[in-house]
Amino acid sequence: METGWFTFDEINQLIARGEMPDGLSLVPLLQLMAQRRSGSLTA
């Protein structure tokens, strides 16, 4: 799945290296990834 900037795998790699792009907001991104992992979370 594309986020518009990076794939989730690429984002995970950026987070792991501490190289998140300035233009991305990390909190909503983490919420999105958490929702994908759990599969059934709703905001």
Average pLDDT per run of 10 along the chain, which is 43 residues long?
66 74 65 72 52
Chain centre distance of CA 30: 5
Residue 2 lies in a domain: no
Number of domain units in the chain:
1
Residue 1 lies in a domain: no
User: Looking at the whole model, is its pTM more than 0.85?
Assistant: no
Instruction: Determine the Cα–Cα distance for residues 16 and 14; give it in Å rounded to an integer.
Output: 5
Tokens of 24: 């991305």
Instruction: Determine the Cα–Cα distance for residues 35 and 33; give it in Å rounded to an integer.
Output: 5
- Domain holding 26, by residue range, is 8-38
Residue 22 lies in a domain: yes
Residue 26 lies in a domain: yes
